[in-house]
A = this chain, B = another copy of it.
Amino acid sequence: MPKGQPNAVPDDGLTTRQRRNRPLLAVHTGPGKGKSTAAFGLALRAWNQGWPIGVFQFVKSAKWRVGEERALRVLGDSGEGGAVTWHKMGEGWSWVQRDIESSEEAAREGWEQVKRDLAAGTYRLYVLDEFTYPMHWGWVDTGEVVSVLRERPGTQHVVITGRNAPEELVGAADLVTEMTKVKHPMDAGQKGQRGIEW
- A interface list, Cβ under 8 A from B: 1-2, 4-10, 12, 16, 19-22, 24, 26, 28-30, 32-42, 44-49, 51, 59, 66-68, 70-72, 74-75, 78, 80-81, 124-125, 130, 157, 162-163, 170, 173-198
A66 to B41, CA, bound (A): 12
Q: When the two chains form their complex, are residues B44 and A71 in contact, meaning their CB atoms are under 8 A apart?
A: yes
Provide 5 A-B residue pairs closer than 8 Å at the C-beta atoms, listed in order of the A residue.
A2-B197, A10-B188, A34-B41, A36-B41, A48-B71
Which residues of chain B are within 8 angstroms of A72 by Cβ–Cβ distance?
44
The residue in chain B whose Cβ has the minimal distance to the Cβ of A171 is B183
A167 to B20, CA, bound (A): 37
Number of copies: 2
A131 to B92, CA, bound (A): 42
Which residues of chain B are within 8 angstroms of A186 by Cβ–Cβ distance?
2, 4-7
A75 to B37, CA, bound (A): 17
